[in-house]
Amino acid sequence: MIDSGKQPEIKRVEITVNGKTVQARTDKPLIHACLQAESEVPHYCYHPGLSPVGSCRICQVEVQQGKMPARVMVACRTPVAAGMVVDTESKGAHDSRKECLEFLLKNHPLDCPICDKAGECTLQDYSFAEGQGEGRSVEPRRKLEKRKDLGDVIMLDQERCILCSRCVRFMEEVPETPQLCVAGRGSHSIIETWNNQPLSGNYQGNLADVCPVGALTLKSFRFKARVWNLTKTASSCGECSRGCSTTVEVLRAGEIVRIRPRHDEEVNKWWMCDTGRFALDHFSEVDRLVGACMPSATRGWDQFPVEDGLQVAADMLMAAEKPLIVASPWLTVEEGTELLTLGRQLNGRVAFVSPAQNELADDLLHTGDPAPNRRGLTDLGFEALSPEEILSAASEHSSILCIGERVASLLGEDGFNSLPSATRVLLFDCALPAAQEVGNSPIDLAIGLATSAERAGHWVNIDGIRRPILQARPAPTGVWNTVRLLQNLLGLLATREIQS
Amino acid sequence: MPFLILLIKASLIYGGLLVTAAVMTLAERKISARIQLRIGPNRVGPGGVLQPLADGVKFILKEEITPDGANKGIFRLAPIMAAVPAMLTVAVIPFAGETVIFGLDFGLLSLTDLDIGLLFVLAFSGLSVYGVILGGWASNSKYSLLGGLRASAQMVSYELSLIMTALTVVALSGSMDLREIVEVQNTGNPLAWNCFTPVVGQVGLVLFVIATFAETNRHPFDFAECEPELVGGFHTEYSSMKFALFFLGEYCAMTVMACLTTVLFLGGYSVPFWEDAPWMVELATFMAKTSFFLFLFIWVRWTLPRFRYDQLMNLGWKVFLPIALANLLLAGAFISLT
Amino acid sequence: MVVVQRRELTFWERMYLPEIVRGLVITFKKMFEPRVTRQYPEQAMPTTAVTRGQPRLTVKDDGNIACVSCGLCEAACPAYAITIDGKETDRFIEREPERFDIDMLRCILCGFCEEACPKEAIFMSNELELANTTREGLVYDMEQLKRSTSTLQPRIDYVRKINDRW
């Protein structure tokens, strides 16, 4: 679906929306043109990435064409025709929508204060703007299951569901693994999986995004935060070389509580995989390497500030004959450029760790290559070496500088620990590898780095598309971002060269 | 024996003076509270009577602060200079006539009976200006300096009127001995009191009382402190016991001035219609008269606003001094007539 | 320019002393009027339902906190005094606060939280006294803020009455 082969030629016709002339695509429904004209048309069942079905009926607009009198139509199921005159704000449209809204709210519980969707729920927004204050219905609301478990990722609240069927269509059309269906008829319709089987697949998280109300929620995010308390930052996913555009959401400048896909037509459309969505552990502040540390024979890990750590690093690198510089594929293009300068100055061998393909690859988004900036570093002139090649090359060098987040874990815990003791090992990483005891650790100097949520830069994805990562939250005190670290190191080296 | 008697008298009089000063601090707060429909201090002791004690303890426990750049010697000397003259003047005030306690003849209830008692009082109360101006100068603070300057100018100006008015009484009584002044008035007839001397006495009393207000830096002439303009005036930088000494000096000066007014104009210890009253009645009478003036000090303070500085100087030089001089002339005329 | 018209003083007034005496008489009379001071800790000011004291959380009669941690008071608070973290419950009402902190040093007693609350869970109580020796001690947590519905009842009735007006 994502593979962008030959695009069919797009035909456009001229229509008028609220007095604005728009070149509307004929392969898209009328609502697409209305939204393009920046008019506000509420929509629940329509999703630009899914086929339109017109089940919610809320997107009604008044359309006048030719000599026919103006009629109220459902914009998501009306094809565009040349010469249409659309009014989204007419009284007829508003009245129809209001009536439609009353039906939608007939069985929708009024528990916005509890609902996790509150704040980013279009049903809430529109009923606040347009709806009436009190319901007129005398019949009781539907009593359905409030906590229906749909596997490891998703929890379904059937009462809140407005039966827009976005989730059903998503499962059918995007990962093409139909698992959800609308069961029952009329007012007994509910969303269900067949035989109550749990959902499977690597794209379940998107269900919570496509659900226009709070019916499908992420278990990991349930009742964790109110969405208006989240600071949202545009970024890119680093779990594979696709580099999906994401929004990183931070609660009170601290914990990253949610990562969501950001619409990017060229890379990931509206979707992302669960691997990237739930890769939050990597950003946790627990066990971070703050400042710099060195093994000391008497005191265990000797902690000191980054400034002093850089002095030590400069001394070590000056003494090295031809150091091996091993970068992590998480380094940004900017950091890679600085690192290449360092490599030239030290006359070293510069490579990045090229990890093996993993089994997560699919034909939708995940490439199975856990190296987000592979293309960017290769284009800069980095040598791609597999972990094994690096470990075997290490013995040929008196010093090895491993730099970038997760670089140690990419080399493998055993592999990293088996680095020859004759080689001097400098590790610049976000965290120390597990179980590093003074005495059996190969590390001679370690300096903490900022994670990709704490620094800014660019990655180039596997298709050569350059996308930014932005700083979503401040780095812990005493942690520098990699560019600043490298520039300071270069400065120190230059000073030492002049002095010698 | 005379030494022992002197010792007892001294301890009685000074004890009485200090107690009066302490009671005055409480009375000041209590009366101001009454005037402003408040309650005043009522937490320490029954009805707050132990408040002065608590204040004293507080003053002792407070931190002593000497400002940077202060002249330390003079800074320390100033509170003493303010308190000591006020306390010394009380030595010549006769509190009662012939006194016999438990068969012990104390003679006149006064520490000493100087021929020039009035001169002594005026001389020493004039000295108290040094405490203010030295304190203001030594603090090395603009507020203190301004307060000290103003106060000294004010005190010097009003001292003139004070002395002129006192001279009237000297002329009427024909003596500077305070005992003599009282004895002249002590005839059993209250009309013999100087304040009842036609015109001269009344004008003299009013002038003298107002001048004592200025002399002791009390409202409405408290330019030395003047909180809204000068923070705390000359004692801005003072804390703890040094501040307490200034405070004590002020209240002692008030007490002495009230005593002096009583002696000069209200017949001192003379009891109306009872010429040879026992000493205790005389003492009680003296205290009652003095208490009225002390009350007046407080009463005026909580009634009148502060003068403007130029108004104060105008009043002193252009009104008080001429009237005091005229009054002195009048007294002369009165004496030559009778 | 404003020309201030000052009243011409009479001769008597210009003599000054009689006016001073008049003032003294007034203050003397004042000394015998009833006093207005209230002895505060012993005689507390009576409070009414209108008193807008410190915010408190209601505990319903079944022992559960009324708050569902919707965060509206947190959002409405102009002083950023409120911090709420929610958690899931097994009850029909799925959500309740895990942490509900009000920094009383920040709270300005404006009552916006009470107004914002959709669940009648936070009310401005009649509690006014606030003292502690540390700043941390004045960040009240949920247990310190909980009050039974009965203690807050006058205020609840008052707020309902006010809200009915709109």
Give a three-class secondary structure readout of A359-428.
Answer: CCCCCCCCCCCCCCCHHHHHHHCCEEECHHHHHHHHCCCCEEEEECCCHHHHHCHHHHHCCCCCCEEEEE
| Spatial CA neighbour of A287 closest among A476, A482, A413 | A476
* Average of per-residue pLDDT across A216-228: 91
* Average of per-residue pLDDT across A401-408: 90
Q: Dump pLDDT digits (tens) for B250-270.
A: 888 889 899 999 988 888 888
Q: Find the residue in B nearest to C37 (Cα).
A: B38
* Average of per-residue pLDDT across A307-324: 89
Q: Is C40 on the interface with B (CB under 8 A)?
A: no
**pLDDT on residue A50:** 93
Contacts of C18 in chain B (CB under 8 A): none
Residue A2 scores a pLDDT above 60 = no
Mean pLDDT of chain B: 85
Domain ranges of chain C: 55-164
**pLDDT on residue A4:** 53
Cβ <8 Å between C35 and B304: no
**pLDDT on residue A7:** 66
Residue C67 scores a pLDDT above 90 = yes
**pLDDT on residue A3:** 53
CA C1 to chain centroid: 45
Report the percent of chain B where pLDDT is more than 70: 98
Residue A5 scores a pLDDT above 60 = no
Total number of domains in chain A: 2
- A113 closest CB neighbour out of C68, C85, C87: C68
* Average of per-residue pLDDT across A245-274: 92
pLDDT category of residue A167 using cuts at 50, 70 and 90? very high
pLDDT category of residue A296 using cuts at 50, 70 and 90? confident
- Residue C71 C-alpha, separation from nearest chain A C-alpha, in angstroms: 7
**pLDDT on residue B1:** 65
Residue C81 scores a pLDDT above 60 = yes
| Spatial CA neighbour of B247 closest among B107, B98, B56, B70 | B56
CA angle (B239 as vertex; B238, B245 as ends), nearest 5: 80
For strand A399-403 and strand A324-327, is the pairing parallel, antiparallel, or unpaired? parallel
Q: Which of the residue ranges A282-286, A417-421, B197-201, C121-125 has the most confident prediction, judged by mean pLDDT?
A: C121-125
Tokens (6 digits) for B240: 């703890």
Cβ neighbours of residue C2 closer than 8 Å, sequence gap 6 or more: none
The verdict on residue A182 lying in a domain is: no
Q: Is B206 on the interface with C (CB under 8 A)?
A: yes
**pLDDT on residue C40:** 86
Residue ending a domain, among A104, A133, A162, is A104
For strand A383-385 and strand A349-353, is the pairing parallel, antiparallel, or unpaired? parallel
Q: In what order do the strands lie in the sheet containing A349-353?
A: A300-304, A292-296, A443-448, A424-429, A399-403, A324-327, A349-353, A383-385
pLDDT category of residue C56 using cuts at 50, 70 and 90? very high
Q: Do chains B and A touch (3 or more CB pairs under 8 A)?
A: no
* Average of per-residue pLDDT across B183-187: 83
Q: Dump pLDDT digits (tens) for A127-142.
A: 988 878 788 888 888 8
| Spatial CA neighbour of A33 closest among A46, A21, A49 | A21
Q: Is A224 on the interface with C (CB under 8 A)?
A: yes
DSSP string, A440-452: T--EEEEEEB--T
Report the percent of chain A where pLDDT is more than 90: 56
Residue A242 and residue A368: Cα distance in Å, rounded? 9
Residue B178 and residue B186: Cα distance in Å, rounded? 12
Contact criterion met (CB below 8 Å) for A240 and A368: yes
**pLDDT on residue A443:** 87
Q: Which range among A291-295, B273-277, C97-101 shows the weakest confidence by mean pLDDT?
A: B273-277
Residue A63: domain span: 12-104
DSSP string, B39-105: ----SSSGGGTTHHHHHHHHHHHSPP---TT--HHHHHHHHHHHHHHHHHGGGG---EEEEEETTEE
Tokens (6 digits) for A208: 């919570």
Tokens (6 digits) for A394: 């290490």
Q: In what order do the strands lie in the sheet containing C139-140?
A: C82-88, C95-103, C139-140
The verdict on residue A2 lying in a domain is: no
Residue C69 and residue C98: Cα distance in Å, rounded? 8
**pLDDT on residue B180:** 84
What's domain C55-164's architecture? 2-Layer Sandwich (3.30)
Which ranges constitute the DSSP H helices of chain B?
2-35, 51-61, 72-88, 117-138, 142-173, 178-185, 200-215, 227-230, 240-265, 279-301, 309-314, 321-337
* Average of per-residue pLDDT across B15-43: 90
**pLDDT on residue A377:** 93
Cβ neighbours of residue A83 closer than 8 Å, sequence gap 6 or more: A13, A14, A15, A65, A66
The verdict on residue A132 lying in a domain is: no
CA angle (A448 as vertex; A294, A322 as ends), nearest 5: 65
**pLDDT on residue A41:** 92
Report the amino acid identity of residue B2. Answer: P
**Terminal alpha carbon distance of chain B:** 45
C78 CB-contact burial (10 Å; exposed 0-12 / middle 13-18 / buried 19+): exposed
A321 CB-contact burial (10 Å; exposed 0-12 / middle 13-18 / buried 19+): exposed
The verdict on residue A231 lying in a domain is: no
Residue ending a domain, among A54, A87, A104, is A104
**Cβ neighbours of C71 (radius 10 Å):** 23
Q: Three-state SS across A216-256? A: EEECCCCCCCCHHHEEEEEEECCCCCCCCEEEEEEECCCEE
Cβ <8 Å between C94 and A229: no
**pLDDT on residue B183:** 83
Cβ <8 Å between A224 and C93: no
Report the percent of chain B where pLDDT is more than 90: 11
CA angle (A268 as vertex; A266, A271 as ends), nearest 5: 150
Tokens (6 digits) for C46: 């009576």
Residue A248 scores a pLDDT above 90 = yes
The CATH number given to whatever domain includes residue A56 is 3.10.20.740
Interface of B with C in 246-305 (CB under 8 A): 299-300, 302-304
Q: Dump pLDDT digits (tens) for B52-86.
A: 899 889 988 988 888 888 888 888 888 888 888 88
* Average of per-residue pLDDT across B273-297: 87
**pLDDT on residue A1:** 45
**pLDDT on residue B111:** 78
Residue A40 and residue A34: Cα distance in Å, rounded? 8
Cβ <8 Å between A226 and C119: no
Residue A274 and residue A258: Cα distance in Å, rounded? 12
Contact criterion met (CB below 8 Å) for B256 and B91: no
Q: Where are the beta strands (DSSP E) in A252-308?
A: 255-261, 292-296, 300-304
Q: Is A226 on the interface with C (CB under 8 A)?
A: yes
Q: What is residue A146's DSSP assignment?
A: S
pLDDT category of residue C166 using cuts at 50, 70 and 90? low
Residue C22 and residue A447: Cα distance in Å, rounded? 85
| Spatial CA neighbour of A343 closest among A358, A355, A325, A361 | A325
Residue ending a domain, among A50, A74, A104, is A104
Residue A220 and residue C88: Cα distance in Å, rounded? 12
Residue C122 scores a pLDDT above 90 = yes
Cβ <8 Å between C70 and A118: yes
Cβ <8 Å between B36 and C30: yes
Cβ <8 Å between C17 and B35: no
Q: Find the residue in B nearest to C35 (Cα).
A: B37
> Phi and psi at residue B99, in whole multiples of 5°?
-120, 130
Residue A209 scores a pLDDT above 80 = yes
Q: Is C34 on the interface with B (CB under 8 A)?
A: yes
Mean pLDDT of chain A: 89
Torsion over CA of B280, B284, B289 and B291, rounded to 10 degrees? 140
Contact criterion met (CB below 8 Å) for A353 and A327: yes
- Residue B30 C-alpha, separation from nearest chain C C-alpha, in angstroms: 10
* Average of per-residue pLDDT across A408-415: 84
Half-sphere exposure of A116 (CA within 13 A, CB side): 26
Cβ <8 Å between C34 and B34: no
* Average of per-residue pLDDT across C12-22: 85
Q: Find the residue in C nearest to B301 (Cα).
A: C24
Contact criterion met (CB below 8 Å) for A461 and A222: no
Residue A485 scores a pLDDT above 90 = yes
Q: Is the pTM of this model over 0.80?
A: no
Contacts of C28 in chain B (CB under 8 A): 299
3-class DSSP assignment, residue C57: strand
- A113 closest CB neighbour out of C70, C87, C88: C70
**pLDDT on residue A350:** 92
